[in-house]
Structure 1
Amino acid sequence: YFQSHPAIQPATVVVEDRAHPSTSELSPTWNRTDEWYNYRSNPRERVHVLAALDESSYTGGTMNGDHPIAWCQDYQGGRAFYTGLGHTKESYADPAFRGHLLGGIRYATGHTQADCRPENGYRPLFDGTAESLADWKQAGPGSFTRSDDGTLTSSGGMGMLWYPGQDLGSYSLKLDWKMASASGDDNSGVFVGFPPSDDPWSAVDNGYEIQIDATDVPEKTTGSVYGFRSADLKKRDRALNPPGEWNTYEIR
């Protein structure tokens, strides 16, 4: 993979997957000093990119603006994690970098779950910025608050944040979520397949909810289509990370 590198210098790392255990505690952008590798080819089509370099933030990048720097993949029945960071001794005194390494090791050794399939053909509906959040609408009471790290936190009422930007037909939707309650009793979900409306009950009455709540009965628990179909609970339990850790849904 390795082709060349410029001198050690500061650069900005853009975190693309904030659900993976190696990147879940990082901010959307991570400014650090390191030795930045250029690679012989871009691995993006073959791996799941976790973080990439902003080549405009330093000198010497040769990958034409798409510069993966950390990634993971399922490989021949096993798991692989790679990071191009850590070429300075100071890196190992940095709690953020040590957490990055630990999360990668936990994934590779099977101590936690993550989706490491390549992501090709997706486009973001929310990218952590206030500008992209402005494309969404709140239906009913309650609210969603955007934090400085780009995450959204729901509060109050039987409300729903929905995306009116485009009617979607056949699609795959990926999103990252975590439960705040230590018990896993967080009654929430992701609604799909409902007609546009500012009334949240329209989604309840006319759509389908993919549930987020690990404490309810089988047809109303995490991974189920609420009230219609239970998740495979054994597979769900193997894949589900505990409260406080990120999980990933793919809904299609």
Structure 2
Amino acid sequence: MHKVRQELRGSGELLCGKNTLIRRAMMTFFNNLPYLEILMPVVRGNVAFVFTNDDLKEVRAKIVSNVVSAPARAGAIAPCDVIVHACNTGMEPGKTSFFQALGIPTKISRGTIEIVSDVHLIKTQSKVGASEATLLNMLNISPFTYGITVLHVYDQGTLFSPSILDITEEAFIGHFMAAVNNVSSISLALNYPTIVSVTHSLINAYKDVMAVSIASDYLFEATEKIKDMLENPDAYTVAVPVSAIVETATPQKEEPEEDDEDEDMGLSLFD
């Protein structure tokens, strides 16, 4: 808690106290600030308030980044799975029975106890037993981490889940554009003009005007060229240059000439 306060210094204030006193203090402001009533149901359990004017996403990151490791305690509810990996414990062989009671396979290696395989010791949301807690402390394992989690976000009279802060600006724009496209499609289908369908309506109307103009021979500047293209398509055909085909003669392999006379190796019988 103190680390979080130090981290929030200059960007926010962390306030915690008895829930009854917090609710009583909030009730005194209901007449002037009725929208605070929405916070009453969340003042339950071990909760605190963080007041800030900074970016909510950055403040939440500062809060959840401060976590501390904690050893397993008997009777506590495990927030996560605990797996003891295969390793040499460095303990003397006399404690083998302790591992056997927990169903952990071991062997004696170089005068010490060695865990043979990984063991799923504690499951999530299960109660930590005394034997499991003792074993983890003997192995110097602190399997759990504790910190402050953000449960709710309150802004301008609205209470919402902190998962809303994970939505990026690109996602907002994507959802907005999808909604605009849907509204535009519905407007065009119903022939009900809206601000998002005006552009499409103008384009469709212009296409209809051009079609009527060409069909009725009542031409204007924009349709004269289109009419001419329809009547004289050959005039607008792009000439494709004919590429000359060059035949390349494949070089023939030269056969080595055979000598009619044997080469004189300098070993004549008549020398």
TM (norm. structure 2) is 0.20
Q: Which has the larger radius of gyration?
A: 2
| Higher normalized strand content (fraction of residues) | 1
TM (norm. structure 1) is 0.21
